[in-house]
Amino acid sequence: MAQIEHPAVTNFRNYIRIKTVQPNPDYASCTKFLEGQAKELGADCQVVECVPGKPIVLMTVVGQDPDLPSLLLNSHTDVVPVFPEHWKYDPFSAHKDEKGDIYGRGTQDMKCVGIQYLEALKYLKKEGHKFLRTIHLSFMPDEEIGGIDGMAEFIETDIFKKLKVGFALDEGYANPTEKYTVFYGERTVLWVYVKCPGQPGHGSQFLPNTAGEKLQRVINSFLNFRSQQKQLLKEDKDLNLGDVTSVNLTMLQGGVQFNVVPSELCVGFDVRVTPTIGENKFEDMIKSWCKEAGDDVTYEFKHIAPGSHSESKDEYPNLTCVEDGKNPWWDAFSQACKDEGIKLVKQIFPAATDCRFLRKVNIPALGFSPMNKTPILLHHHNEFLNEKIFMRGVEIYTTIIPTLANLKI
């Protein structure tokens, strides 16, 4: 006989069924759903549109001392596209199989977390909990396409500044083991375009100062660095992808015809810089590689998302301190996890999330999606989350949220 489903799970499945899929997310239905959630929770709710048609749903549970810096629980409402032919079930049906695995786009990334925050707060409120600090929940649009019309715009507004956010939680991803992963930083995307000018001429000669020779040196420098980083990752079992810098040659341009030495050849690289190297140090490396490659070799950065390239000269501007005893927010978070009996693995997120915008304005932020014993399926076909793991996540937040919201500093 089918067991009665927990209302939190039903709520989660209903959220999955709203097609907030890029490139045309149904934000209108999503906003309506979330407004209903706010009502159920008894939270204040406002809808902010920095860009028309891209709603940010902001809920607020006022604390006993609203002057204290607040706690922000962030999640995004949009999900990445699907290829339904590769799915076992309709990706927007939230199908639950006999094991309790719920299939759907957004089950891991990251509608689970949005609902877990809400369900944990509903539970705590029902139990009569009061919080010292104000708690805000932000449901952001467009994270999956870079957050430009979402978080990047939002943090510039007076509405955001008035939230006085002291600490934020945002997304992480699943861990297939017993442990849970927490992310304290992320890599920066740099798209580097290098131009190698040279002496043009006939293809039969040994001309000096050719574009091809310079291009060769540039490619060697970037790809040698790539090999070193790849090796580092392979040899050190403690390192993860986010701890090293990845480099990929993704563009090559130039040439007129076979027997003509061109006046210019260009190459483009996709680089993901780990915060322990940092953009500034990496840019210094690019400068020296271009100089070594020959005369007049220049570089530029293409299409860098606002906020992703730091002007800051801080040593590690994109990292939230996760050393014990040095950051009270971290201490509170890790204590809550200990109280829940869960083991954490600290990592740097290998790609970009909305967290980067928060960290840029000096808000400490952790990426955490409480899913253990779950394969990492964000952006994959057949993304699923088991209902027991989901419910355990709600329970974990019922400890984490009050510990952070009642932090006295």
**Closer Cβ to Zn ion, 101 or 171, answer by number:** 171
Structure tokens at 394: 């709600």
Site string for Zn ion, 287-306 (x = CB under 5 A): --------------------
Structure tokens at 152: 């990047």
Decide if residue 72 touches Zn ion (CB under 5 A): no
**Closer Cβ to Zn ion, 171 or 279, answer by number:** 171
CB of 170 to Zn ion, least distance (A): 9
**Closer Cβ to Zn ion, 265 or 352, answer by number:** 352
One-letter amino acid at 194 equals: V
CB of 383 to Zn ion, least distance (A): 11
Residues 375 and 102: their CA atoms lie apart, in Å, by 13
Which residues have a Cβ under 8 Å from the Cβ of 229 and sit 6 or more positions away? 244, 245, 246, 247
- Of 101, 143, 170, 354, the active-site residue reads 143
Distances (CA, A) of 133 to 153, 250, 314: 25, 47, 29
CB of 167 to Zn ion, least distance (A): 19
**Closer Cβ to Zn ion, 80 or 277, answer by number:** 80
Residues 154-213 that bind Zn ion (CB under 5 A): 171
Site string for Zn ion, 83-112 (x = CB under 5 A): --------------------------xx--
**Closer Cβ to Zn ion, 110 or 189, answer by number:** 110
- Of 78, 101, 149, 383, the active-site residue reads 78
Distances (CA, A) of 377 to 103, 175, 291: 11, 10, 42
Token pair 């699943």 is at which residue? Answer: 174
**H-state helical runs in 163-302:** 211-235, 279-293
Residues 19-48 that bind Zn ion (CB under 5 A): none
CB of 108 to Zn ion, least distance (A): 8
Asked if 135 contacts 121 with a C-beta cutoff of 8 angstroms, the reply is yes
The answer to whether the bond into 23 is cis (omega within 30° of 0) is yes
Residue nearest to Zn ion (CB): 109
Note if 119 is an active site residue.
no
One-letter amino acid at 46 equals: Q
CB of 112 to Zn ion, least distance (A): 10
**Closer Cβ to Zn ion, 139 or 269, answer by number:** 139
Q: What is the DSSP string of 312-370?
A: ---SSTT----STTT-HHHHHHHHHHHHTT--EEEEEESS--THHHHHHTT--EEEE--
CB of 233 to Zn ion, least distance (A): 23
User: How many helices (DSSP H) and strands (DSSP E) are in the chain?
Assistant: 10, 16
Note if 143 is an active site residue.
yes
Q: What is the DSSP string of 110-143?
A: THHHHHHHHHHHHHHHHTT---SS-EEEEEES-G
Counting residues that bind Zn ion (by CB under 5 A) gives 3
Q: Residues with catalytic annotation?
A: 78, 143
Applying CB under 5 A, which residues contact Zn ion? 109-110, 171
